[in-house]
A and B are shown apart, each in its own frame.
Chain A
Amino acid sequence: MAVSSNDVKMKSAGIGIALTVNGRAHRLELDPRTSLLDALRELLHLTGAKKGCDHGQCGACTVLVNGRRINSCLTLAVMHEDDDIVTIEGLGKPEALHPLQAAFVERDAFQCGYCTPGQICSAIGMLAEARAGWPSHATVDVAAEGTTLTGAEIRERMSGNICRCAAYPNIVAAIRDIVEGVHR
């Protein structure tokens, strides 16, 4: 649902699209080659989503599209007309953090912070997947119903987000705090 609208035109405009990001509607004129990640970062200046590899190999660019986590570097912006896109900036502000963002701070679940927006968006998508009962590679019996987010399940499901600072144990702790309702 759009609350306001914003027009951005790229120098090498080609296609006009409507993009809804963090609840705000944008009209973008852009080169069809533009990845969703570059559209967010370079056109809308939403640089929370990071470019770590540009090839789907790190997860730093993870955003939520219609509630699902995806790598925004491997999709074209033009493919997301009318999609509901949420980036880290839409989850919470420094002065009013989302509980998971707060848990990341509390648990020191990052160091340099570069992978962090991707980790947090990914975790939000992951928690929804687990609630929906999706199996993972860590699931002993994929046919079984329901998902219990054990440490092994969280680690496997978060393995699409590389943290070179290697805050992994702290990332898992932060997510567990949310799962167990420590942060509200």
Chain B
Amino acid sequence: MIGQALNRVDGPLKVGGRAAYAYEHWEAGQPLYGFIAGATIGKGRITKIDIARAERSPGVRLVLTHRNAPEQNAPDFSITSQYSRAFPVLNGPEIHYYGEPVALVVAETFEQARAAARLVDVEYAAEAGHYDFAARQNNAYAPKKVNAGLPTDSAVGDFDAGFAGAAVKVDQRYSTPYYFSQAMEPHAAMAVWNGDDLTIYVTDQILAEGRTCVASTLRIDLQRVHLISPYIGGGFGSKLGLHHEAILAALAAREVKQPVKVAMTRQQIFHLVGPRPTTSQRVRLGAGKDGRLVAIGHDVTMYTNPEWEYAEQTAATTRSLYAAPNRLTRHRLTPLDRQRGEDVRAPGEAPGLLAVESAMDELAYALGIDPVELRIRNEPARDPERDVPFSDRRLVECLREGARRFGWEERPVSPASRRDGRWLVGYGMAAAIRMHFQGTAKVRVRIGRDGIAVVQSDMTDLGTGTYTILTQVAADALGLPIERVRIEIGKSDFPESSGSGGSWGAANSSIALHRACKALREKIEHSAGEPGDLEAEGEVAGMWKEPAYQAYSIHTYGAHFAEVGVDADTAEIRLRRMLGVFAVGRALNAKTTRSQLIGGMTWGVSAALHEEAVVDTRTGAFVNRDLAEYLVPVNADIPDLDAIVLDGFDDKANVLGAKGLGELGICGAGAAVANAVFNATGVRVRDFPITLDKVLPGLPLAEA
């Protein structure tokens, strides 16, 4: 059962339009509607706020501002995970970032609330804020740690000497813009108070952290908070934590003694949910004439909110990707007056590999070596920085298999050498790597007299396929047909997991479930002859407690191959085809695995070609804050794209041999596309995204 291409068990509900997302629950009765009014300055303070017009507006039941909002706890910055900290809203007249909520208007209908939100009159004393990342580079500092508790810097050997002595060098700067997850379901919450108990229907990837955040913000008992998030309309990191809408809904619902629901508008998401930090990266590669690297250096600067420090692990995979005796990685942060940065699918790896895998292509070109061959020549035998063995490194296999299937040998070897009508055609490739994480999880399984196994956990399914793979794991471990397995997840009252994020949810919860099922089977055997309700729990510990994670370097790998066409006159860039080959240990479901990977690859394509949230450095606002201007790919952008998964089993990772893969697809994918653009045109763009205006000046004029 495990690994089979089982259709999603929640599929019929979703295609039938019957899966209820956060804003779509009616069991608590008719809610009131909340609408957020946001600050129109990037830094300063509210000097006057007049809610009289809003309050008089038809249907309005409550206008919350910093003047009447209940006191909330301040965040405790000693808590490592930002999503577990208190998240107070409307807690003072100070404005820290553009769009920060200044009021919540609650009314009987959505239209009334939205109209009245416009009538909240606010005057500000604006202060000069820092919004321009490029201009503030000199203020960068070194954080104590980067995301996932990884070290800020690393050094092996003598980078400076190694690089100085290298026969061939690449020393380039790359920049990546602010990227947003922009899941299709906007951030939304409905809060319902029942005495002292607070239930929030919410769209949240990690319910345990969300619950902690709510309880500590509102200063209430953790046990009184119940989060319900059965279906999530995509998250990609943007729903690891709760945001203003959940806290505001809870505050307002308590005030008006009625359920209140609040959704962010698409435009508000650009200011209230954290972007992937914009980065400036310097990559230095030094190699011998044979292509063997002698020095790898990766320096990253990115923005951070001054209070809510957030550092993507942009250079972390550089530490494991290629062999080289002399190595250096560094992360630095530039504080800006902007909302906190947050995790966006493959935090760090995605922008980091855009730069490093572009640089590897530059090196291959400088050396005149096939980019695939260059990577194979730099394959390390052990993790080059941790000096431990790899658990299951299959990068070379991915490279070879991908090259073969894609027809890499057919590639145009020199740039700007192939044409198909008006299209300049180029091939590009890049490696993919991502660290595998393991977090704690508990799962309960219960079997009733009816012979139905019910699995319970506060795990979530944001489209990743949790319902389906847990069904498969339980059916497998208990020897039941899948119809006799029922998965109940998405409720914070169920046994605690680490949720979905960092690609670890599937493995964590599957292993815990596998153990729970084993325990249940033992109970069933012991209770032979006595049918009745039996239950058991299974658990998995965090990687920091698992010896295998200390003894081995545990990653997933892949190789991307892309063919692009660049219009010879206009420089419009269009993907023509793309293939990824991946090694992820054991895939728990062949269908959902492929879907995750092609989804990630598509993100890579648009990170390379489309996506960029542009800041107006005068105000701190994101200028292109909607889906007509912040361009994510549409169907026509993705003509022919496929992912192949190598059969595998990583016995060091866990008993099921499975590793996370939801983010692997994006890792390196953008660089493959960028390298293909170079191959097509001979124009190397290092400031992402590669839009036509950056390529156009490098294209010769058409002849007759």
- A interface residues (Cβ-Cβ under 8 A, vs B): 10-12, 31, 33-34, 38, 41-42, 45-58, 60, 87-89, 92-95, 97, 101-102, 104-106, 108, 110-117, 120, 138, 151-152, 154-156, 158-172
Contact = CB atoms under 8 A, between A and B. Distances in A.
Contacts of B13: 94, 113
Given A58-B627, A108-B591, A152 B185 contact: no
A169 B642 contact: yes
Nearest to A160: B634
A48 B13 CA distance: 10
A10 B109 contact: yes
Nearest to A101: B15
A177 to B, nearest CB: 14
Contact of A97 (B12, B20, B231, B465): B12
Interface of B: 7-8, 10-21, 23-24, 26, 58-59, 108-112, 115, 181-186, 231-236, 263, 265-266, 462-465, 591-592, 594-596, 598-603, 626-628, 632-636, 638-642
Nearest to B638: A168
CB-based closest 7 A-B pairs: A48-B17, A114-B233, A112-B463, A113-B14, A111-B463, A88-B17, A166-B602
B544 to A, nearest CB: 30
Given A11-B108, A55-B627, A95-B12, 6 more contacts: A50-B21, A89-B16, A97-B16, A108-B11, A110-B463, A116-B15
A105 B17 CA distance: 13
A129 B1 CA distance: 41
Given A11-B108, A55-B626, A113-B231, A41 B15 contact: no
A61 to B, nearest CB: 11
B14 A89 contact: no
A24 B189 CA distance: 30
A105 B8 contact: yes
Given A12-B111, A31-B111, A164-B183, A108 B26 contact: no
Contacts of A171: 635
B501 to A, nearest CB: 14
Contacts of B185: 50, 52, 112, 114
A116 B24 contact: no
Given A101-B15, A105-B8, A57 B628 contact: yes
B18 A159 contact: no
A64 to B, nearest CB: 13
A128 B265 CA distance: 32
Given A166-B602, A171-B635, A114 B234 contact: yes
Nearest to B232: A112
B15 A11 contact: no
Given A54-B266, A113-B10, A162 B16 contact: no
Contact of A52 (B266, B594, B600): B266
Contacts of B236: 164
A167 B465 CA distance: 13
Nearest to A48: B17
Contact of B15 (A33, A46, A113, A162): A113
Contacts of B235: 112
Given A155-B636, A167-B599, A45 B26 contact: yes
B19 A113 contact: yes
